[in-house]
């Protein structure tokens, strides 16, 4: 059975809401999203549907290079799962995405985390609750708390998580583009050398 790598993006945008959450949790980087490629082409989470309005939240596909997120402090972690586990995670995400208009952001649930009161609301999730929910069936990613109490820090510190980047989110994409360019240059050089070798052999 093959393996797949999934990616977790932790961010702090510096908004008043994120500062309040940081104060409540005594942690930074209190927003978490999940992706399935190192270029972060598709990122899923629960958060603001409109970047300038913190009160219109729900299921979202985030734009990490948009104005709202590009200057965020961030940390990106990778985690290896089996192909079947990856398919399960994607299935759970697609189920929620298919019903996204019925979901909302679980603001009340954040208070439950602060005061350690279990609050489970129908079709309402906050970001780390969403990630914990879509990971719930993974045998090797069992979190120590119910999803309604799970924080980004609980996910970030899980055994097996590998830190691959920390810093301004915009710089990650600059570094990634450079790596892609170098990889393409190396591939082009190999193809060129291969073609020359073939011509030499034919002669």
Q: Which domains does the chain have, with CATH numbers?
A: 3-175 (3.90.1720.10)
pTM: 0.84
Q: Which residues pair with 46 in a beta bridge?
A: 59
Q: At what angle do helices 107-115 and 16-25 cross, to 10 degrees?
A: 20
CA distances, 78 to each of 38, 91, 97, 110, 179 (Å): 9, 19, 23, 26, 17
Please check whether residue 22 is in contact with residue 12, taking contact to mean a CB–CB distance below 8 angstroms.
Answer: yes
pLDDT in tens, the chain (203 residues): 689 999 999 999 877 777 777 776 778 899 999 999 999 999 999 998 887 777 789 999 999 888 888 889 999 999 999 999 999 999 999 999 999 999 999 989 988 988 899 998 999 999 999 999 999 999 889 898 999 999 999 999 999 999 999 999 999 987 665 554 444 445 554 555 555 555 555 55
């Amino acid at each position: 059975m093959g393996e797949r790598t999934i990616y977790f993006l932790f961010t702090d945008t510096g908004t008043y809401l994120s500062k309040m959450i940081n104060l409540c949790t005594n942690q930074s980087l209190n927003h978490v999203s999940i992706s399935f490629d190192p270029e972060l082409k598709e990122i899923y989470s629960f958060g603001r549907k409109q970047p300038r309005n913190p009160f219109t939240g729900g299921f979202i596909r985030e734009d990490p290079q948009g104005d709202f997120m590009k200057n965020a402090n961030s940390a990106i972690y990778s985690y290896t799962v089996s192909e079947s586990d990856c398919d399960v995670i994607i299935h759970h995400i697609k189920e929620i995405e298919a019903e996204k208009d019925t979901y909302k952001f679980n603001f009340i649930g954040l208070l439950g985390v602060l005061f350690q009161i279990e609050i489970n609301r129908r079709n309402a999730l906050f970001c780390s609750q969403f990630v914990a929910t879509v990971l719930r069936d993974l045998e090797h990613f069992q979190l120590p708390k119910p999803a309604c109490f799970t924080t980004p820090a609980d996910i970030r510190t899980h055994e097996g998580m590998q830190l691959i980047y920390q810093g301004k989110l915009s710089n990650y994409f600059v570094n990634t583009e450079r790596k892609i360019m170098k990889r393409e240059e190396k591939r082009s050089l190999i193809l060129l050398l291969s073609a020359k070798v073939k011509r030499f052999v034919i002669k």
